[in-house]
Amino acid sequence: MKTILAIHTGGTISMSQNQNGEVVPNDENPLAKEQVILKGQINLITDNLFNLPSPHITPQIMLALKQRILQAIEKGVDGVVITHGTDTLEETAYFLDLTLPNTIPVVLTGAMRSSNEIGSDGLYNFQNAISVAATPESYGKGVLVAMNDEIHTARFVTKTHTTNVDTFRTPTFGPIGIVTQHKAKYFQELIRTDVCEIDHVISGVYLLKAYAGMDGDLFSALDNKKTHGIVIEGLGAGNLPPQTIPAIQQLLRHQIPIVLVSRCYNGVAQKIYDYAGGGIQLEKMGLILCQGLNGQKARIKLLVALSSQKKGTDLRHFVSNAVS
Ligand code: ASP
């Protein structure tokens, strides 16, 4: 019988609606009272590690979660399921994907409707995630996200809807598998996974979104000793308004790494345009174009890279390529 460790961290999946219709955290996780169908076929052990809404999750908490999973791997568990608030689930999932050895299945899940709401998806997603974690085919696929009958990679999944249960999507590439009759079936593979050992996380890595008419003011505000890295969600294929350039050049002169992704939902950032602020010129200036990651994922990758003290071409190689 497989041993699966369920680590609860909080989020809507552990909350309930009060008489006024407000969704609030509980002292005791409602999942504890529920009967998981797969019980009997697996040995489920539970750790109520945190009870936090996911906007309260920080990289320090992600690191503590990673250490807890490493401990469990050492103890010989066969798989890990993490319940998490959906707002920042994709960031925690990608952090773990980048920092954990690619050995046993690690599967994140959550819920869009709290435990006592009609049509609550919490127990259903939890049960599916356990079955994904217990499936032999889930080994070696990096960290996974199982929600609403789909299996996504931590690397590319993103929350796309504020309330709909079908919120988690993988733009451009699609999910790698589905869950049907509580069984995982895979149809795609990730190319490669680069793991980066870290034992601490730095602060001062920021994310800015470009917009029509943006100037250098926000960039200049970040030109200080606290800033260790910046990710910009650029326009289209990876372009910026020309008024931003002088302030960005100043940041680069101060050795602050700047990563460029696209603010578009689909596609990857690329150097296509050779005009002031075009991707070709931005890369020549020294910006790192990161292919395939959204802004929040690229920020996690830059944060992990800087926390592991990657520098120069090492940093550029690690951050620019989402398939490694
Ligand atoms: N705001 C909640 C959270 O992220 C939403 C959820 O769990 O889905 O904790």
Distance (angstroms) between ligand 1 centre and the Cα of 74 equals 30
pLDDT band at 192 (very low <50, low <70, confident <90, very high): confident
Whether residue 304 is predicted with pLDDT greater than 60 in this model: the reply is yes
Give mean pLDDT, residues 183-198.
87
Kindly state the percentage of the chain with pLDDT values over 90: 88
Average pLDDT over residues 51-74: 98
Average pLDDT of the chain to the nearest whole number: 95
pTM of the full structure = 0.97
pLDDT at 32: 87
> In whole angstroms, what is the distance from residue 105 CA to residue 140 CA?
7
How does residue 323 score in pLDDT terms, banded at 50, 70 and 90?
low
Active centre residues (catalytic): 12
Tell me which H or E stretch contains 262.
strand 258-262
SS3 content of the chain, % helix, strand, coil (to 5): 30, 20, 45
Interstrand relation of 205-209 and 183-186 (parallel, antiparallel or unpaired): unpaired
Weakest mean pLDDT among 103-117, 153-167, 188-202, 287-301: 188-202
Position 158 scores a pLDDT of 98
Q: Cβ(68)–Cβ(154) under 8 Å? A: no
Task: Report DSSP state, residue 239.
Answer: B
With beta carbons less than 8 A apart as the criterion, state whether 144 and 153 touch. Answer: yes
Angle value at C-alpha 148, between 142 and 154, nearest 5 degrees? 20
Residue of 24, 86, 160 with the most ligand 1 atoms within 8 Å of its CB, for mutation: 86
How confident is residue 38, by pLDDT bands cut at 50, 70 and 90? Answer: confident
Q: What is the rounded distance in angstroms from the CA atom of residue 17 to the CA atom of residue 91?
A: 26
Q: 23 pLDDT exceeds 90?
A: yes
Helix (H, G, I), strand (E, B) or coil at 153: strand
Contact 279, 271 (CB under 8 A): yes
Range from 34-43, 47-56, 179-188, 307-316 that averages highest in pLDDT? 47-56
- Quote the pLDDT of residue 148: 98
Contacts of 136 (CB under 8 A, 6+ apart): none
Q: Which atom of ligand 1 is nearest to the CA of 111?
A: 8
* Residue 182 pLDDT: 84
Bridge-based pairing state of the strands 150-153 and 144-147:
antiparallel
Provide the residue type at 300 as one letter.
Answer: I
Query: Does any ligand 1 atom lie closer than 6 A to the CB of residue 89?
Result: no
User: Which residue, 100, 52, 87, is CA-closest to 296?
Assistant: 87
pLDDT of 324 above 60: no
